Every structure is written in C-alpha cells, then in structure tokens.
C-alpha cells in the first residue's frame, strides 16, 4: 500500500484499488487495533498506516486530537465534554459521527 499527498488530495493505493480523497471530505481518522480508518461522510476506508505517518501528509486543518484520532477541525460541528470524563471532549460531525479530543487540544482551539 502507498499513500501520498497530491495537491488537495490524499491518494491511497491498495492492492486492487486507488482512492482519491479530497482533504476537505475527510472528517476524521481513527486508529483501531492494527488498522487506521479514514472516515468521510459517505465511506470508511481501512488502511494499515500509522497516525504519526499520516498526520505528516495532511494539511494544517487536521489535528492529532487524541492518541487514537486525527480530526479535520474545519468539519467539526460541535464539541461536548464526554460524560464522566472531564479531560476528554467528543467532537461531532454530520451524520452522527464523532471523535475524541483531549481537553488540552480543545484549549488550543478556543484560546
């Protein structure tokens, strides 16, 4: 598998498929076990690539928001404190999708 940045797109080449993902269509990226899942409004693309490596390919509107998440800040609609955990927020996007953001990263956004 190969992943590279080309203009305003992330190009993901898997064995039999090539994805051209405009950066603005990516809501967030989630690490789950040994897999990384790229979430858009319409699909989820599973790859084997580290968040650390992926964040270097993404533009500045993406933030490593949590140990398991990268969030496209431009696509966040709302954030709420996670129930029972005052150190973590849940960021909401369209279509009931959500990702986690640490309190420290929320502080960077709302200075």
Q: Provide the pLDDT for residue 88.
A: 94
pLDDT in tens, the chain (111 residues): 899 999 999 999 999 999 999 999 999 999 999 999 999 999 999 999 999 999 999 999 999 999 999 999 999 999 999 887 788 999 999 878 999 999 999 988 886
pTM of the model: 0.92
CB-based contact 103:90 (threshold 8 Å): no
Strand order in the sheet with 69-72: 44-47, 35-40, 26-32, 69-72, 62-66
Taken in order of first residue, the domains within the chain and their CATH numbers are 2-109 (2.40.50.1020)
């Amino acid at each position: 598998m190969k992943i590279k940045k080309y203009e305003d797109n992330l190009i993901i080449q898997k064995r039999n498929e090539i994805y051209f993902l405009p950066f603005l269509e990516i809501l967030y990226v989630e690490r789950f076990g040994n897999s990384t899942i790229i979430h858009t409004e319409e699909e989820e693309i599973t790859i084997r690539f580290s968040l650390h490596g992926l964040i270097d390919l993404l533009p500045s509107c993406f933030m490593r928001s949590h140990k398991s998440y990268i969030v496209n800040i431009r696509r966040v609609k709302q954030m709420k404190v996670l129930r029972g955990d005052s150190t973590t927020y849940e960021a909401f996007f369209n279509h009931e999708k959500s990702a986690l953001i640490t309190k420290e990263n929320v502080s960077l956004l709302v200075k």
